[in-house]
């Protein structure tokens, strides 16, 4: 698809920021286990922490295509940091803008878009991943408050975030209509981080297990209406899957660039290895797969901007891009030979970072299940 001038500008701003502020330091942050908090304030300064949020709340007011392009650029520099950006933008900021009260927008949204605060999303629990309706966290009404008890897992920015978007059951007898979403600060004494996970990749963001222990939350922190929380939590699910496709494309692109540059420099049998057909054909296949993934996610993002149903296209983009990223990163390691297996070269980290894209926001198996249910025989 052809990008508008505004979309190109946002992509270019994100690319410039990523290459200047993230890429040179990503390997060190990966070793040290996190990026400095100031980085996200600087990201907010160029509009990256509220890309789709209206300017009256401090956002960039851009469309979803622009957001996806920005995510690709940040992910090309570092996957973990793009995860922090993604969680803050959507679902947290997006859900507050769409479903929050004016007070929540004033008190919370402006802090998220400015980088003063970071947001995290509490949906997944230890016993349930893709089956969101099976959550067990309970929120019991008590006067003007709710008392939350439960255990959440795999929470991006669970310990570093300032605002938590929490999905909990308020009426067990009502099934899916008994689930409520809250937006509440994490400095509540009932909010307890019990573990920060040690991960294969995405080491630049914290991933946590969090327990709510008699955590009192004011009723004013209910996001939308009680009992409508599952729709709010899952309403941006397609957006999240398109975002993962963009992340995967960015990671694959970084692997491709590293492999291409290495192939130009490394010589065997008296010439650069890029001149050997085995290598040049491999690079050609890698480039083609990356471009195919980009067009899939851009198509789904454009459909979303046009108000069209894009659940199938989002799942297709996520499925293809996430699996493509691992293949491309693996080929990049192969092109590097033994050096690709060493942490001294960037493809080792990229390979670790891209593997998770086949898991979160719905595994590849879940995407195949969803796509199969949405097949229409008239399309083929």
What residues act catalytically? Answer: 361
Per the listing, tokens 């973990």 go with 80
Helices (H), the chain: 5-17, 26-32, 37-45, 64-77, 79-87, 94-99, 102-104, 110-114, 229-234, 237-265, 277-305, 311-336, 346-354, 364-373
Beta bridge partners of 272: 267
281: CB partners within 8 A, 6+ apart: none
Stated as kind and residue range, the H or E segment containing 195 is strand 191-196
Distance CA 13, CA 351 (A): 26
Could you tell me the two tokens for 117? 């605060």
* 143 exposure class (CB count in 10 Å sphere: 0-12, 13-18, 19+): exposed
φ, ψ at 201 (rounded to 5°): -140, -170
How far apart are alpha carbons 148 and 187 in whole angstroms?
Answer: 14
Pairing state of beta strands 119-122 and 163-169? parallel
């Amino acid at each position: 698809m052809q990008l508008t001038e505004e979309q190109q500008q946002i992509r270019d701003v994100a690319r410039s920021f990523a290459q200047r502020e993230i890429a040179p330091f990503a390997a060190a942050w990966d070793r040290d286990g996190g990026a400095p908090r100031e980085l996200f304030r600087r990201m907010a300064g160029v509009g990256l922490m509220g890309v789709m949020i209206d300017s009256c709340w401090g956002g960039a007011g851009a469309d979803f295509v622009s957001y996806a392009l920005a995510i690709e650029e940040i992910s090309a520099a570092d996957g973990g940091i793009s995860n922090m950006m993604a969680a803050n933008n959507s679902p947290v900021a997006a859900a507050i803008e769409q479903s929050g009260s004016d007070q929540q927008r004033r008190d919370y949204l402006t802090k998220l878009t400015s980088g003063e605060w970071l947001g995290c999303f509490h949906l997944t629990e230890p016993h349930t991943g893709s089956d969101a309706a099976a959550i067990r966290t309970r929120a019991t009404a008590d006067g003007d408050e709710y008392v939350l008890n439960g255990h959440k897992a795999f929470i991006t920015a669970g310990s570093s975030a300032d605002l938590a978007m929490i999905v909990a059951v308020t009426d067990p007898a009502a099934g899916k209509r008994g689930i409520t979403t809250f937006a509440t600060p994490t400095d509540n004494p009932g909010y307890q981080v019990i573990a920060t996970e040690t991960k294969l990749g995405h080491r630049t963001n914290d991933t946590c297990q969090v327990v709510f222990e008699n955590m009192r939350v004011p009723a004013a922190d209910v996001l939308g209406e009680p009992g409508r929380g599952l729709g709010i939590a899952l309403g941006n699910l397609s957006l999240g899957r398109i975002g993962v496709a963009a992340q995967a494309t960015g990671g694959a692109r970084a692997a491709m660039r590293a492999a291409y540059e290495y192939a130009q420099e490394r010589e065997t049998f008296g010439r650069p290895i890029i001149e050997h057909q085995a290598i040049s054909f491999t690079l050609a296949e890698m480039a083609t797969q990356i471009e195919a993934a980009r067009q899939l996610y851009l198509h789904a993002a454009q459909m979303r901007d046009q108000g069209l149903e894009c659940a199938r296209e989002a799942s297709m983009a996520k499925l293809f891009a996430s699996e493509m990223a691992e293949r491309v990163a693996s080929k990049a390691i192969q092109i590097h030979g033994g050096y690709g297996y060493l942490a001294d070269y960037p493809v080792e980290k990229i390979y670790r970072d891209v593997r998770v894209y086949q898991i979160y926001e719905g595994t590849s198996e879940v995407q195949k299940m969803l796509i199969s249910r949405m097949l229409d025989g008239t399309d083929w």
